[in-house]
Amino acid sequence: MAVPLTGSRVRLTPVVEADAPALRAIRATAAVAAWWDALEPGFPMDDEPEATRFTIHHEGEIAGMIQFGEENEPKYRSASIDIFVAPSHHRRGVASDAIALVIEHLIAERGHHRITIDPAAANTAAIDCYVKVGFRPVGVMRRAERDGDGQGWHDQLLMELVAG
């Protein structure tokens, strides 16, 4: 089980059932739903059992969720992350603090040296945040992700952070 992580602005706790209504409500906001798919059955408890998920707490509120996945094959060992934050907590350092905590955990505690994230290429606010914490663009993956309406495709920007 993941342990809580505390940063300068946020506290990350393993997602529990009591967090689900708030996380589902945040995912349903227009600003978040524009970049994420429709809610999956079982979100956030049962839809991606291989992901390690944390609830982001900021100023006494549930502000969002951050998750990571791990590739444990020694030859390709690395991790990937994904995050969403409630619009009321945007541009307040919440996402960057949460990401920095997870990066530190993945490198120092989990032994990873490379972490990736792949936002929609048009999500400039997210990309700016990821650059701020040390991610660098690797390249554009063309038509790599289905649009939220399921009808079309959009590009993703592959970004990585390499320790050391």
CB burial string 125-157: b at 16+ within 10 A, e below: ebbebbeebbbeeeeeeeeebeeeeeeeebebb
Could you report the per-residue pLDDT of 79-104, keeping only the tens digit for each? 999 999 999 999 999 999 999 999 99
Dihedral sign of CA atoms 117, 160, 93, 103 in order: positive
Q: How confident is the model at residue 1 (pLDDT cuts 50, 70, 90)?
A: low
Domains defined for the chain, CATH in brackets: 5-162 (3.40.630.30)
Could you report the per-residue pLDDT of 31-57, keeping only the tens digit for each? 999 888 788 889 999 999 999 999 999
- Based on C-alpha coordinates, what's the Rg of the chain? 15
Whether the predicted pLDDT of 113 surpasses 80: yes
Whether the predicted pLDDT of 162 surpasses 90: yes
pLDDT of residue 59: 95
Could you report the per-residue pLDDT of 129-161, keeping only the tens digit for each? 999 999 999 999 999 887 777 788 989 999 999
